[in-house]
């Protein structure tokens, strides 16, 4: 299998293998609720039924992102609702070209079609279309319903037409021989980008996940969670005792509790300001108990203390086996900033078998969630610095097919400093 790297390209060639049935031809109407407010995502109200309202801050812009099949001419209009006997001045920019207009309101229930004229799309690939208010602070620029494009450059153009504005979630699956009893899974993750609402998940398996998250500009977490048995997807209060995972122990400073709405289970996290660009090390272990339970434990290597610490350990019912379905992923769990790039490197993956033999994992398969199938194509993986990487968001032009396989170079040196603390 060849060692492949998806590259960023800005030419029509990148689209030669992309789906074309989602592209448009002729006039394209892009809803306002698909746009992003920048730099403050909460500077205006965005909803599917009303579009963009309460926009009265000229320092905040409205931004749409489309993927064009080719360069060429495009005309741009915006549908706006504005109070009667009021006016608004706006500027629209595509590429290096900007055009300004002034409009008069017709009343709150009447949309005005504002024609910004003709623009040149400079090249194929993702392009940002920015709408800026030229009004004084505190004056409404109008309520935005949609962006309307037409012209030769709209042939095959693609926009995400859904209110969900998260970047697509992307995954790495590590093939493992089914005959192996895997009692430990080791992985290292280095964040390259650091947007809020990002979860870089290192060690995933059939019953849980373990990784690091950016919760806010001032809070980051190391997260370890294990799913209950049963089929309850939302409310853990509905899960019977026979299906609940039980906390066996946790490290100092670790919070533990319940989670739901994505299946249910036991959640734990340590608040720690891990650093972008600094390698983080994770290992999850499995200890079967009498073929009816398995104790799953998550350990993270503390960069400052230079030692492994237990995040938490959970006794999972209706198991009695080892780790399977090994994977990693990267997720954008907040739609307000799905336009930002998320990227991390995942490397030095190893498994340990029940007879204490280490096996290096050097192959990974790419996949994505439904958003990556038809809504967002800025998602891909590759190999750099001897590690797999996952990239999504940013409206970049890299692309991988679902199921593409990649190979990283082997390191050949198994984890040797594993002094895992006792569960308590």
Rounded to whole angstroms, the Cα distance separating 151 from 129 reads 15
Rounded to whole angstroms, the Cα distance separating 398 from 377 reads 8
User: Is 233 contained in some domain?
Assistant: yes
Average pLDDT over residues 25-41: 92
Query: Residue 9 class from Cβ within 10 Å (0-12 exposed, 13-18 middle, 19+ buried)?
Result: middle
Evaluate if residue 327 carries a pLDDT over 60.
yes
Domain ends where: 96, 127, 154?
A: 154
Query: What is the CATH classification number for the domain harbouring 231?
Result: 2.60.120
Evaluate if residue 385 carries a pLDDT over 90.
yes
Rounded to whole angstroms, the Cα distance separating 223 from 347 reads 19
User: Is 238 contained in some domain?
Assistant: yes
Q: Are residues 260 and 134 in the same domain?
A: no
Average pLDDT, the chain: 91
- Confidence class of residue 421 from pLDDT cuts 50, 70 and 90? confident
Q: Are residues 100 and 181 in the same domain?
A: no
Which tens digit of pLDDT belongs to each residue from 195-223? 999 999 999 999 999 999 999 999 999 99
Which tens digit of pLDDT belongs to each residue from 283-303? 999 999 988 999 999 999 999
Q: Are residues 213 and 315 in the same domain?
A: yes
Evaluate if residue 54 carries a pLDDT over 50.
yes
User: Is 413 contained in some domain?
Assistant: no
Evaluate if residue 16 carries a pLDDT over 90.
no
Whole-number pLDDT of residue 259: 87
Average pLDDT over residues 322-327: 97
How many folded domains does the chain comprise? 2
Q: Are residues 80 and 178 in the same domain?
A: no
User: Is 415 contained in some domain?
Assistant: no
Domain ends where: 119, 154, 189?
A: 154
Could you tell me the residue range of the domain that residue 53 belongs to? Answer: 29-154
Q: Are residues 101 and 221 in the same domain?
A: no
User: Is 414 contained in some domain?
Assistant: no
CA angle 347, 348, 350 (to 5 degrees): 125
Compute how many other C-beta atoms are within 10 angstroms of the C-beta atom of residue 234: 11
- The reported pTM is 0.89
Residue of 375, 359, 355 lying closest to 163 (CA atoms): 375
Q: Are residues 388 and 350 in the same domain?
A: yes
Which tens digit of pLDDT belongs to each residue from 71-118? 999 999 999 999 988 999 999 999 999 999 999 988 777 899 999 999
Q: Are residues 256 and 382 in the same domain?
A: yes
User: Is 56 contained in some domain?
Assistant: yes
Q: Are residues 180 and 251 in the same domain?
A: yes
Q: Are residues 308 and 237 in the same domain?
A: yes
User: Is 2 contained in some domain?
Assistant: no
Domain ends where: 154, 181, 201?
A: 154
Three-state SS at 154 = helix
User: Is 5 contained in some domain?
Assistant: no
> Where on the phi/psi map is residue 290: left (φ > 0), alpha (ψ -120 to 50), or beta?
left
Cα dihedral across residues 258, 327, 340, 14: positive or negative:
negative
Q: Are residues 117 and 186 in the same domain?
A: no
Residue of 262, 246, 267, 255 lying closest to 319 (CA atoms): 246
Q: Are residues 105 and 183 in the same domain?
A: no
Q: Are residues 75 and 149 in the same domain?
A: yes
Query: What is the CATH classification number for the domain harbouring 47?
Result: 2.60.120.260
């Amino acid at each position: 299998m060849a060692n492949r790297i998806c590259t960023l390209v800005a030419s029509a060639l990148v689209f030669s293998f992309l789906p074309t049935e989602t592209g448009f031809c002729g006039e394209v109407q892009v809803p306002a609720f698909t746009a992003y407010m920048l730099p403050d995502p909460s500077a205006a109200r965005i909803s599917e039924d009303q579009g963009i309202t309460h926009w009265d801050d000229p320092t905040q812009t409205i931004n749409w992102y489309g993927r064009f099949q080719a360069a060429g001419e495009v005309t741009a209009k915006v549908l706006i609702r504005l109070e009667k006997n009021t006016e608004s001045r706006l500027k629209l920019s595509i590429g290096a070209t900007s055009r300004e207009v002034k409009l008069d309101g017709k009343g709150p229930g009447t949309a005005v079609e504002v024609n910004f004229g003709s623009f040149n799309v400079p090249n194929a690939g993702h392009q940002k279309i920015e709408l800026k208010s030229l009004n004084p602070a505190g004056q409404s620029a109008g309520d935005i319903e949609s962006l309307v494009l037409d012209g030769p450059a709209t042939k095959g153009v693609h926009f995400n037409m859904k209110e969900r504005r998260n970047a697509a979630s992307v995954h790495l699956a590590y093939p493992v021989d089914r005959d192996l009893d895997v009692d430990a899974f080791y992985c290292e993750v280095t964040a390259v980008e650091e947007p809020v609402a990002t979860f870089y998940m290192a060690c995933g398996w059939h019953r849980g996940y373990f990784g690091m998250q950016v919760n806010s500009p001032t809070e980051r977490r190391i997260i370890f969670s294990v799913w209950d048995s049963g089929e309850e997807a939302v409310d853990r209060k509905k899960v019977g005792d026979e299906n609940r995972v039980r906390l066996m122990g946790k490290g100092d400073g670790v919070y533990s509790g319940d989670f739901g709405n994505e299946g249910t289970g036991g959640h734990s996290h340590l608040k720690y300001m891990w650093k972008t660009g600094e390698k983080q090390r994770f290992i999850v272990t499995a200890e079967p108990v009498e073929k009816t339970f398995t104790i799953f434990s998550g350990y993270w290597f503390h960069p400052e203390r230079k030692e492994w610490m237990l995040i938490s350990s959970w006794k999972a019912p209706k198991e009695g086996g080892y780790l399977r379905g090994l994977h990693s992923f990267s997720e954008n769990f907040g739609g307000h900033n799905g336009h930002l790039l998320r990227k991390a490197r995942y490397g030095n993956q190893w498994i340990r078998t029940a007879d204490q033999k280490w096996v290096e994992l050097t192959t990974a398969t790419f996949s994505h969630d439904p958003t990556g199938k038809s809504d967002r194509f800025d998602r891909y993986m590759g190999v750099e610095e001897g590690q797999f990487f996952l990239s999504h968001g940013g409206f970049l032009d890299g692309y991988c097919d679902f199921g593409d396989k990649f190979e990283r170079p082997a390191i050949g040196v198994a984890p040797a400093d594993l002094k895992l603390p006792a569960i308590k």
